[in-house]
Amino acid sequence: MKAHTEYLWMNTAKRREYVNITDECARILKQSGIREGMMLVSAMHITAAIWVNDNEPGIIQDADDMLERLAPFNPSYRHHLTGEDNGDAHLKNLLTHHQVIIPITAGQLDLGPWQTVFYCEFDGRRRKRVVIKVMGE
Amino acid sequence: MKAHTEYLWMNTAKRREYVNITDECARILKQSGIREGMMLVSAMHITAAIWVNDNEPGIIQDADDMLERLAPFNPSYRHHLTGEDNGDAHLKNLLTHHQVIIPITAGQLDLGPWQTVFYCEFDGRRRKRVVIKVMGE
Amino acid sequence: MKAHTEYLWMNTAKRREYVNITDECARILKQSGIREGMMLVSAMHITAAIWVNDNEPGIIQDADDMLERLAPFNPSYRHHLTGEDNGDAHLKNLLTHHQVIIPITAGQLDLGPWQTVFYCEFDGRRRKRVVIKVMGE
Calculate how close chain B gets to C91, using CA atoms only, in Å.
6
pLDDT per residue over C16-36, tens digit each?
A: 999 999 999 999 999 999 999
Beta bridge partners of A6: A132
Res C75 pLDDT > 90 = no
Tens of pLDDT along chain B (137 residues) come to 999 999 999 999 999 999 999 999 999 999 999 999 999 999 999 999 999 999 999 999 999 999 999 999 988 999 999 999 999 999 999 999 999 999 999 999 999 999 999 999 999 999 999 999 999 99
Give every CB contact of residue A15 below 8 A, 6+ residues apart in sequence: A121, A122, A123, A124, A125
Output the pLDDT for position A124: 98
Output the pLDDT for position A99: 98
Torsion angle, alpha carbons of C17, A72, B88, B85, to 10? 180
Output the pLDDT for position A48: 98
Interface predicted TM-score (ipTM) of this complex, two decimals: 0.97
**Dihedral sign from CA coordinates of A107, A32, C134, A8:** negative
**Domain limits of chain B?**
2-73+84-136
Q: Does A38 touch chain B (CB under 8 A)?
A: yes
pLDDT per residue over A62-109, tens digit each?
A: 999 999 999 999 889 999 999 999 999 999 999 999 999 999 999 999
Short-list A71, A4, A14, CA closest to A38: A4
Output the pLDDT for position C94: 98
Q: What is the pTM of this model?
A: 0.98
Output the pLDDT for position C31: 98
SS3 C86: coil
Residue of C32, C40, C78 to mutate, interface with B, max B Cβ within 10 Å = C78
Output the pLDDT for position C119: 98
By C-alpha distance, the chain C residue nearest A89 is C59
Output the pLDDT for position C99: 98
SS3 A43: strand
CATH architecture of the domain covering C2-73+84-136: Sandwich (2.60)
CB B10 within 8 A of CB B117: no
Output the pLDDT for position A106: 98
Give every CB contact of residue B2 below 8 A, 6+ residues apart in sequence: B32, B33, B34, B37, B134, B135, B136, B137
Q: Does A109 touch chain C (CB under 8 A)?
A: no
